[in-house]
């Protein structure tokens, strides 16, 4: 038997420890994929009534989805595959410890695989048999992140050219435009864009996995803690490269905070200032956690604490999974807002593709930006689309007040979203293309300066604040979630919407190259050329009217 090499941190020296499996790797792969399909279809728990929102669609409640994904992640191991090893052998090896339920390989500066076992005991078994420089099974006591192992068995099949499955990467705009040009209608193009951009199953698994890895690490400090994902990783509006927003609930006594005793030693103790002030407790907790991530948790790099923000956070990168993460504490409300968006996305199948298209359009036209500043961010932008769908002549989405089980007259509410079975739904079959056109009309006509938007009441209200854009935070009464947005940005939103309407109304919209929504993502030079060829005076007048330069 050939000796395998030993990695210094987290590794398995397997050939010595286990007999060669007798199973054919190809068979195992096939087996496991058909099992996975079965599991998937069983997980979908309830079906909406025929007359309800999202007619006939299968609906998995948010909590059920989160629990299912967390369970998958906690039964998964992240393997680093050495140059000489291959996925098929790894699956053979894993199957000899317990049934493998799902597995995929990805490339992140090196080859990795995520293996999900049917039972948690199989993970334990592998951990117990892992070989480290201190001997078999010693590994658990020594290392914090013990579900990140190295598989280093030489494979007879490992080919020199291995495909690189890059999971967390957005497609460039040019490629998306090329793809959607194969669509057969504008509505179909909008759906295609969403399909191309949306998080894949692998991407979702990796995001839940990173949360459980951080949870494992933090449990050395807080044995009961939970680390839960929120935001675009779970709300159905996540792109392939979206960040992972996570929050830690330490589940410790009031006023208890973690403190560093030395570079690598931490303990939990009582702190009076933290007991008196929740924000101070959050800041103290995150300050210590940032040190802990940096010094003790493998693969956490670029750790940056931002403790004076409205919502204090620690940013870091998980190198092996290639994910940018934002860790917050004391932030359960963010889970509620994620659940709310998840439900809105499930209520009507047009919501998700429309939001994807509008997010992409806003990004392309500089209305959103990955850096903080005057820009509208994706969360309020999604709320803008939701209010548009709630307030149109035939609402496509219900008011939040009609959706949740809570008394909205109080601020501090424990929200609960009901089973959507039988939720009344008004028939409306407006196409996605028409909805997009309507959205642009909405943006050009809406009086953002004098009116605010409320998802909670599915209505507009008089905006007597100084904010040029007021989108009420649906779960925190009367707070504006776009306080940062400037008047210039609102003007840009309206003029860009007017420009988009002009483009959509051009006779060549359906037969130019690129056609349809491809025309909404032209370079400024190309757009200018078309404007010159068409009626530039009419275009200028239309945009000018939107901006109030020419009265009607
Ligand atoms: N959030 C909130 N109030 C805000 C901003 C954010 O409640 N003013 C919550 C929302 O649940 C949001 C989550 O925090 O989804 C994460 O915020 P962010 O990362 O800015 O947005 P995402 O929805 O995750 O979108 P992106 O893909 O841009 O990360
Ligand atoms: Mg996010």
Q: What is the DSSP string of 516-534?
A: GGGGGG--HHHHHHHHHHS
φ/ψ (deg, to 5) at 517: -65, -20
Top-tier CATH class for 201-334: alpha beta
Query: Does the CB atom of residue 231 touch ligand 1 within 6 A?
Result: yes
Residue pair 455/474 in contact (Cβ under 8 Å)? The answer is yes
Please give the number of the atom of ligand 1 that sits closest to the Cα of 238. 27
Residue nearest to atom 12 of ligand 1 (CA): 231
Residue labelled with tokens 């008089």: 462
Backbone angles phi, psi at 150, to 5 degrees: -105, 130
Residue 160's pLDDT is 62
Cα 133 to middle of ligand 2, angstroms: 39
Q: Beta-carbon neighbour count of residue 209 at 10 Å?
A: 27
Give nearest CA residue, ligand 1 atom 9: 334
For the beta carbon of residue 401, count every other beta carbon within 10 angstroms: 16
- Domain(s) labelled CATH 3.30.460.10 in the chain stretch across 201-334
- Residue ranges, comma separated, of all CATH 3.30.70.330 domains in the chain are 3-151
Shortest-distance ligand to the CA of residue 485: 1
Residue keyed to tokens 């130019």: 512
Q: Which of 207, 244, 245, 380 to mutate to test ligand 1, by most ligand atoms within 8 A of the CB atom?
A: 245
Rounded CA separation 338/229 (Å): 9
**How many angstroms separate the first and last alpha carbons of the chain?**
85
The helix (H) or strand (E) run that includes residue 287 is: helix 278-296
Question: Which superfamily does CATH assign the domain made up of 3-151 to?
Answer: RRM (RNA recognition motif) domain (3.30.70.330)
In testing the pocket of ligand 1, which one of 232, 311, 376, 478 has its CB within 8 Å of the most ligand atoms? 232
Q: Which atom of ligand 1 is nearest to the CA of 231?
A: 15
Going from the Cα of 243 to the center of ligand 2, the distance in angstroms, rounded, reads 5
Q: Which atom of ligand 1 is nearest to the CA of 475?
A: 7
Give every CB contact of residue 511 below 8 A, 6+ residues apart in sequence.
none
For residue 242 and ligand 1, the question of a CB distance below 6 A is answered with yes
| Residue 232 in contact with ligand 1 by CB distance below 6 A | yes
Looking at all shown ligands, the one closest to residue 242's CA atom is 1
CA of 343 to the centre of ligand 1 (A): 15
pLDDT in tens, the chain (552 residues): 333 332 322 323 323 322 333 323 222 222 222 222 222 222 222 223 334 444 545 789 899 999 999 999 999 999 999 988 889 999 999 999 999 999 999 999 999 999 999 999 999 999 888 876 655 544 444 555 589 999 988 877 655 678 899 999 999 999 999 999 999 999 999 999 999 999 999 999 999 999 999 999 999 999 999 999 999 999 999 999 999 999 999 999 999 999 999 888 999 999 999 999 999 999 999 999 999 999 999 899 999 999 999 999 999 999 999 999 999 998 888 998 999 999 999 999 999 999 999 999 999 999 999 898 999 999 999 999 999 999 999 999 999 988 876 554 444 445 566 656 555 666 789 999 999 999 999 999 999 999 999 999 999 999 999 999 999 999 887 899 999 999 999 999 999 999 999 999 998 899 988 999 999 998 878 878 877 777 655 556 555 555 554 443
Structural contact between residues 458 and 383, judged by C-beta atoms closer than 8 angstroms = no
Ligand 1, atom 1, residue with closest C-alpha: 334
| Sign of the Cα pseudo-torsion (298, 303, 308, 312, in order) | negative
- Using the atom order of ligand 1, give the atom closest to the CA of residue 340: 11
112/104 Cα distance (integer angstroms): 8
Q: Is the CB of 378 under 6 A from ligand 1?
A: yes
Ligand nearest to the CA of 239: 1
Phi, psi of 536 (to 5 degrees): -65, -35
- Expressed in angstroms and rounded, the spacing between residue 383 Cα and the centre of ligand 2 is 14
CA atoms 264, 269, 273, 279: torsion sign: positive
- Please tell me the pTM assigned to this model: 0.86
**DSSP characters over 307-340:** -SSSS-EEEEEETTTTEEEEEEES-THHHHHHHH
Determine if the peptide bond prior to 105 is cis (ω within 30°). no
Distance 324 CA to ligand 2 centre (A): 10
Task: Please state the atom number of ligand 1 nearest to the C-alpha of residue 337.
Answer: 11
Q: What is the 3-state secondary structure (H, E, C) of 207-265?
A: HHHHHHHHHHHHCCCCCCCEEEEEHHHCCCCCECCCCEEEEEECCCCCCEEEEEEECCE
DSSP 52: B
Report the candidate in 300, 316, 297, 322 with the shortest Cα–Cα distance to residue 146: 297
Cβ of residue 203 lying under 6 Å from some atom of ligand 1:
no
**Which residues does 360 contact at the CB level (< 8 Å), separation at least 6?**
173, 176, 193, 197, 521
In this structure, how many other beta carbons lie within 10 angstroms of the beta carbon of residue 324?
15
Distance from the alpha carbon of residue 224 to the mean position of ligand 1, in angstroms: 26
Cβ–ligand 1 distance for 236 under 6 Å, the answer no
| Distance from Cα 245 to the centre of ligand 2, integer Å | 5
Distance CA 307, CA 309 (A): 6
The response to whether residue 132 sits with its C-beta less than 6 Å from ligand 1 reads no
- The CATH class of the 177-198+345-504 domain is mainly alpha
Which two structure tokens, joined as six digits, stand for 502? 């002009």
Work out which ligand 1 atom sits closest to the CA atom of 335. 11
Q: How many Å lie between the centroid of ligand 1 and the Cα of residue 496?
A: 24
**Block residue for tokens 């948690």:** 120
Is ligand 1 within 6 A of the CB of residue 285? no
What tokens were used for 31? 């087996």
Residues 484, 380: Cα–Cα separation, whole Å: 11
Cβ of 377 below 6 Å from ligand 1? yes
The answer, yes or no, to whether any atom of ligand 1 lies below 6 A from the CB of 243, is: yes
Tokens found for residue 397: 């989405």
User: 235: Cβ below 6 Å to ligand 1?
Assistant: yes
Give me 458's structure tokens: 């599915």
What is the whole-number distance in angstroms between the Cα of residue 325 and the centre of ligand 2? 9
């Amino acid at each position: 038997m050939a000796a395998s090499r030993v990695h210094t941190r987290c590794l398995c020296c397997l050939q010595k420890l286990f007999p060669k499996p007798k199973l054919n790797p190809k068979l195992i792969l096939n087996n496991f994929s058909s099992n996975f399909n079965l599991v998937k279809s069983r997980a979908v728990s309830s079906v909406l009534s025929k007359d309800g929102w999202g007619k006939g669609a299968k609906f998995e409640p948010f909590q059920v989805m989160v629990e299912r994904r967390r369970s998958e992640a906690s039964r998964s191991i992240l393997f680093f595959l050495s140059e000489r090893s291959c996925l098929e052998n790894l699956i053979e090896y894993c199957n000899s410890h317990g049934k493998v339920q799902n597995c995929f390989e990805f490339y992140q500066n090196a080859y990795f695989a995520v293996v999900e076992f049917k039972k948690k005991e199989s993970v334990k078994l592998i951990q117990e048999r892992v070989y480290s420089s201190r001997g078999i099974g010693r590994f658990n006591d020594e290392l914090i992140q013990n579900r990140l192992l190295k598989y280093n068995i030489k494979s007879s099949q490992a080919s020199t050219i291995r495909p690189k499955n890059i999971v967390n990467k957005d497609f460039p705009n040019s490629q998306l435009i090329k793809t959607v040009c194969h669509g057969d209608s504008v509505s179909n193009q909008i759906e295609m864009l969403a399909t191309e951009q949306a998080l894949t199953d692998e991407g979702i698994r990796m995001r839940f996995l990173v949360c459980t890895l951080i949870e494992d690490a933090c449990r050395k400090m807080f044995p009961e803690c939970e680390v839960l994902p929120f935001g675009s990783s779970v709300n159905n509006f996540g792109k392939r490269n979206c960040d992972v927003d996570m929050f830690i609930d330490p589940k410790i006594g009031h006023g208890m905070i973690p403190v560093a005793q030395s570079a690598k030693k931490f303990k939990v103790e009582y702190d009076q200032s933290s007991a008196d002030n929740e924000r101070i407790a959050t800041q103290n907790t995150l300050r210590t956690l940032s040190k802990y991530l940096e010094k003790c948790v493998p693969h956490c790099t670029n750790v940056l604490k931002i403790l004076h923000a409205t919502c204090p956070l620690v940013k870091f990168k998980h190198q092996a999974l290639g994910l940018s993460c934002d860790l917050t504490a004391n932030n359960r409300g963010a889970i509620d807002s994620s659940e709310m968006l998840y439900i809105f996305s499930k209520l009507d199948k047009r919501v998700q593709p429309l939001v994807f298209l509008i997010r992409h359009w806003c990004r392309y036209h500089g209305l959103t930006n990955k850096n903080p500043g005057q820009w509208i961010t994706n969360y309020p932008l999604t709320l803008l689309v939701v209010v548009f769908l709630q307030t149109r002549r035939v609402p496509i989405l219900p008011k939040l007040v009609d959706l949740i089980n809570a008394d909205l007259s109080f601020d501090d509410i424990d929200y609960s979203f009901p089973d959507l079975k039988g939720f009344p739904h008004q028939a409306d079959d407006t196409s996605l293309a028409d909805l997009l056109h309507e959205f642009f009309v909405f943006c050009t006509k809406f009086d953002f300066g004098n009116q605010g938007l409320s998802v909670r009441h599915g209505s507009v209200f008089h905006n007597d604040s100084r904010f040029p854009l007021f989108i009420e935070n649906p779960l925190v009464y009367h707070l504006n979630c776009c306080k940062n947005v400037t008047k210039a940005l609102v003007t840009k939103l309206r003029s860009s919407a007017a420009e988009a309407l002009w483009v959509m109304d051009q006779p060549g919209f359906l037969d130019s190259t690129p056609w349809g929504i491809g025309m909404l993502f032209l370079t400024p030079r190309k757009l200018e050329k078309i404007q010159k060829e068409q009626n530039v005076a009419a275009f200028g007048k239309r945009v000018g009217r939107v901006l109030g330069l020419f009265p009607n």
